Each structure stands twice: as C-alpha cells, then as structure tokens.
Structure 1
Amino acid sequence: MQPETTNETFTFKILGPLEFRAAGVEFGIAGVRQQTLLTLLLLEAGRTITSPRLIEGVWGGRPPETAEAQLRICVSRLRRRLADAGLRDVISTESNGYRLNVPEDRIDVHRCAAHLERSAQAETAGDIAEAVRQLRSALALWRGPAAEGLPSPVVRAAAARLDEERASALEHCFGMEIQQGRHHHIVPELMSIATEHPFREGLQSHLMTALYHSGRQADALRVYREVKRRFTEELGIDPSERLRTLEAKILEQNPRLDEDGPALPKESLNRLAALERENASLRAERQHIGRLMVRFIHRSPGRVPS
C-alpha cells in the first residue's frame, strides 16, 4: 500500500547531523531514541527492519525488558511527528518489524549512492568529466560525519562505512581531476581534506602531485616529510614505496609523476583504517561536546557574563 503523503517537498539527511525538512521548514526530531530509530529506517528505506534489529540499534546490547513496548511508543511518536509535516502513514508495520516507505531520492544517503553509481558508469565509458561531475554531486551532499551525534553502535558502524566511502570518493575524485590537469584548482580543497585524513596515503600523494605540478616543489616535499614523521612516530612504519618513489621523482624534478607502485602491507593498511575511524569518531565527539557546552551555557541562569 502506498503511503498517504500530502507534502511533496520533503528531504531527509543523515550525511551529517540528522535533518528532516518539509516545505522548506526544518522539523526537529525529539530525543536520541527517535532520532536513532529514524536514522535506522532511513538507512534501509523501502526495506523491512526487524524489531530485534531496531531494538539493538536503539538500546544497544542491554535493552530493557519493556523494549518492545517502548519501541512501539517510539514508532508511534515518530509517525505523529512525520504526520505533522504532511507525511502520513509512511512507516508501515510489518509482521516482523517496520518499514519506511519514502522515495530514495528524498534521502541524501541514497541520492549519494546513485551519483556514485553513475560516476562509475561514466568512468567505465571513458567520460572522465562526467565521472568527476557525478562524484562532485555526491560529495556535495555531505555536511559532516555521517549520523553525527548519535551514539548507537549500530548507527556508528553504518556511519563509519559511509565516512569511508566519502573518503574513497574524495580520493578518487582528486585523482581524476589531476588527470584533467586541474592542479591549481584543487590544491586548497585537497590541502584541507588531506589534513582531515592524515593517514590516507592516496590523498597525501595526490596533494604532493598537485603541489608539484602547481610549481610548488618545496611544499610537495614538505608534505612528504610530514607524512614520514607522522607514520614513523605514530605507527612505527615508513611510508609505502609508492610515496617514497613519488618523493624521489619530485626531487629529480621529473615532469611525469607516476603514482603507481606497491602500497603498504595489508596489516599496515588495517592499522591506518583503524586510525582514520578513531580520528573521525574523536572529531564527531568533540563537536558534539562543544554543542552541549554551548547549550548548557545559554540555559544556565547563573552564568557569569563574559
């Protein structure tokens, strides 16, 4: 059965903090439980999620004895909130769980996936310009770490996967733009992204290449020295042969920089990936704590004016 919706202009966003807008108005979702429930339903829009899975997502490994009853209450409240925005009957009750029935193109995470798929198709067809355009459209949907501020382990696992997909898309996009000769255009953004992901060798090599082809050989070598210091001090390993070879070619002022070459061993790559996830988690936690502190300061009646 199709849901009854009276509002045709609505969007759900989870590539960043959870956001729900209808007719240009943002509708807040009260409470972490309802926010987590909606996020889980959005991730699997159009598919049934079993009640045990939702309970695990909302309460983690230690749900209360009344979890099933509380889940029904959460669903009921979420339905009312969506109905307030003109979306009626979009959460259906199934025999073994619940399903969110909204078009995937109204949910940023699914729109992002569609852009990534179209990018891959364009690249296969040899249309690099279109592949980059689709990647840029996908990346523009991101507003911060996925599902930022929601502590559920199930949500965090899904968010880590999405954040990794974003980092990989960024890396691939920069690589194709370097092939197009857009070195000068991407250097500022690439410097920022490489700082955000200090252990991704692909991004660091792209930055070195873009700087070198922009006439900034000293800056490219400085990036390599910083990467080597970071890897040695924090991981106890040297950069991969690919990055070392890139440095040597920059020193030689080689007009062609071939970034291909053996990457790090799988064990080292796993350690890098773990550090990337930890860095992303710490960034999200710091931002969450910062928002809580701002709210506390503004709500405290006895605060001392600065």
Structure 2
Amino acid sequence: MQPDDIFGEFSFDLLGPLEFRTKGQEVPIAGVRQQTLLALLLLDAGKTISGSRLIEGIWGGRAPETAEAQLRICVSRLRRRLADGGLRNVISTESQGYRLNLPESRVDVHRFRGALEHAGRAEADGDAAEAVRLLRAALALWRGPAAEGLTGPLVRAAAARLDEERASALERCFGLELQLGRHHRIVPELTASAAEHPFRERLQSQLITALYHSGRQADALNAYRDMKRRFAEELGIDPSHRLRALEVKILKQNPELKDEDSALSHNAQTRLALLERENASLRAERQRIGRLMARLMGPHGARVRS
C-alpha cells in the first residue's frame, strides 16, 4: 500500500451511501456496476481481489458469458473516474485480479474499525472516558445504513456485518456512559437507538436502566412493558430472564440497578437481528405498495385508466 502523504485531500465513504470526495467536493461514480466494483475494492483496500469474486459481487449468480470482458471495461471506466478526481493509477491489475492501492485511513470503514480497536484497548486499561471518546468518534463517521442503495450480494453481506458492528459499538458506548453515571445525558440518544433496534435486548435494558437512574421509574416500567408486548406480538417470545429480573429490581427500587448484558445466546441474538432487518424490509415494501396503489387510484380514490 502506498504512503498516505503522497495523496491529495480525498476520502472514500461507505458508512452510508457510497461517496468519493476530493478537496471537499463529491465526485459522482456513475452506474451501479462501477459503484459496486468500487465498494468491493474499498472493503479490501490494499488487497488483491480475484476477478471471479468481483464478478460474483457485481452480477451475483446471473453473470453473463461476457462478464470478464465487461469487468475489464468497468475497471477501465472506474480508473478514469478516479483519475478525474485526482487519483491516477490507484487500481492495479494483478495476476489474480485487481487491487486498490490506498491507505486505509482514507476509507471510513477502516477508520471506524481502527477506532473500535483503540477503544477496546482503552477500555481494557480501565479508561472508560477515553473509550467513550473513541467510540463516539467511530460512530460519528456513520451517515446512514452501510453501502446504502447498493444491492450486490457481497456488498450487502459486508454491509450487514458493518451495521451489526455499529449497533454493537452503540451498546458498548452506552454501557460505558452508564458506568460513568451519565444517565440523564444519554436518555435521548438511547430512546432513539432503542426505537431503531427494537429487538436488541441490551439496548432496551440500557434505556430502562438510564430512565430509572434519571428518576423516571414509571417511564422505565412503561419501556419494559412496551418491549415485552412487542416481543410477544412480533416474535412470539418473552424477554430474557435478566430483563425480567430488571423489571423486578425497578419495582423494588433497587439502588444497585446496573446495565447487564442480555442473557440471550449468540444464535438468538443473530436471529433477532435478522428478524429486525426482515421487519424493516417488510415495512419498506408495504410503504412502496401503498404509494403505488395511491398513484393507481388517483387523488380521489378512483382507479386511473391507462
């Protein structure tokens, strides 16, 4: 990988919609194939990616017979576009595929993961405040769902992992904030995050704990009961033992109430995260169908004739 200081002022962002910015200006990358190709190269910046993997990432299981030739054309066009933004010769052709020769510091995904590693070291050293600072710096890089708008199967799989890393980083950050006694400060953020991830038990537990320690016992109990009803209606399960124990502690006004990790197994957490994504997709599909029906029916409910 080339040294950072030989490049000008630029950055690539995947924690949200794909963006290439140079000198503060966005350089559009036209075409879904070029965008997907760039995303795949960015995810493994500095590493050679085989042509077959890039073809799979761009076309999935529907690659045409001319896929290799089309991939070469796509790479050539992407090279020209990056050169327009001041980055020449950053995509090299290797014997086994292609490599994007960029410092990881210029890609927000790698800056995010680097900050998480530093936060982990600070937490291990007992410096909760520094760990929070680093986690917040990492989370501030996000502008929306990872690789938003890109549909290639490999990109979507990587985006799902990144979204999970973000949610886990949120939980770590809130957990440390609670340890530092910042209950009042984080209630608004926790409320929004718990609504965004309604089936992540640790976030729900953290919100309930923060409300309780902010002198809002009734709101804490209401948050627990709303969550219990949501789990029953949408997932057909009860909250974990630890969350049920949390409700008992609130009712008893236990002064030692603390944030605790969910007792759910890793497989159960994965299943809940999957269900959450599926529910979000279903809601989006219902909204799309609703908009389509509204257009078909016209402004007064009458079907529009074609």
TM-score over 0.5 for the alignment? yes
3-state DSSP of counterpart to 2:98? strand
Q: TM-score, normalised by structure 2?
A: 0.89
Q: Which residue of 2 aligns with 1:134?
A: 134
Answering whether residue 95 of structure 2 is matched by residue 95 of structure 1, we say: yes
Aligned length: 291
Q: In structure 1, list runs of 5 or more residues that go unmatched.
A: 294-306
Q: Which residue of 2 aligns with 1:303?
A: none
CA 1:159–1:182 in structure 2 vs 1: closer, same or farther (change >3 Å)?
Answer: same
Answering whether residue 239 of structure 2 is matched by residue 242 of structure 1, we say: no
Answering whether residue 219 of structure 2 is matched by residue 226 of structure 1, we say: no
Query: How far is 1:258 from its partner?
Result: 3.5
Structure 1 distance, partners of 2:93, 2:146, is 27
Deviations 1:195-239 (A, max 9, x none): 000000000000000011111111111110011001111111110
Q: Which residue of 2 aligns with 1:185?
A: 185
Structure 2 distance, partners of 1:29, 1:146, is 17
CA 1:201–1:123 in structure 2 vs 1: closer, same or farther (change >3 Å)?
Answer: same
Structure 1 distance, partners of 2:115, 2:185, is 22
Q: Which residue of 1 aligns with 2:85?
A: 85
Structure 2 distance, partners of 1:231, 1:111, is 35
Deviates more, 1:71-80 or 1:252-261: 252-261
Q: Which residue of 2 aligns with 1:158?
A: 158
Q: Is residue 7–residue 23 contact of structure 1 (8 Å, CA) maintained in 2?
A: no
Q: TM-score, normalised by structure 1?
A: 0.89
Answering whether residue 198 of structure 2 is matched by residue 198 of structure 1, we say: yes
Q: Which residue of 2 aligns with 1:9?
A: 9
Structure 2 distance, partners of 1:264, 1:4, is 43
3-state DSSP of counterpart to 1:87? coil
Query: How far is 1:265 from its partner?
Result: 4.7
Deviations 1:31-71 (A, max 9, x none): 10000000000000000000000000000111000000000
Answering whether residue 214 of structure 2 is matched by residue 214 of structure 1, we say: yes
Q: Is residue 243–residue 259 contact of structure 1 (8 Å, CA) maintained in 2?
A: no
Structure 2 distance, partners of 1:275, 1:155, is 20
Displacement over 2 Å in runs of 4+: 1-7, 258-262, 264-271, 276-287
Q: Which residue of 1 aligns with 2:75?
A: 75
Q: Is residue 33–residue 58 contact of structure 1 (8 Å, CA) maintained in 2?
A: yes
Q: In structure 2, list runs of 5 or more residues that go unmatched.
A: 293-306
Query: How far is 1:183 from its partner?
Result: 0.6
> Identity percentage over the alignment?
72
CA 1:282–1:27 in structure 2 vs 1: closer, same or farther (change >3 Å)?
Answer: farther
Q: Given residue 93 of structure 1, which amino acid in structure 2 is its aligned partner? A: T
Query: How far is 1:263 from its partner?
Result: 1.1
Q: Which residue of 2 aligns with 1:26?
A: 26
Over the residues paired in the alignment, what is the CA RMSD in angstroms?
Answer: 2.4
Structure 2 distance, partners of 1:76, 1:139, is 34
3-state DSSP of counterpart to 2:11? strand
Query: How far is 1:264 from its partner?
Result: 2.7
Q: Is residue 6–residue 87 contact of structure 1 (8 Å, CA) maintained in 2?
A: no
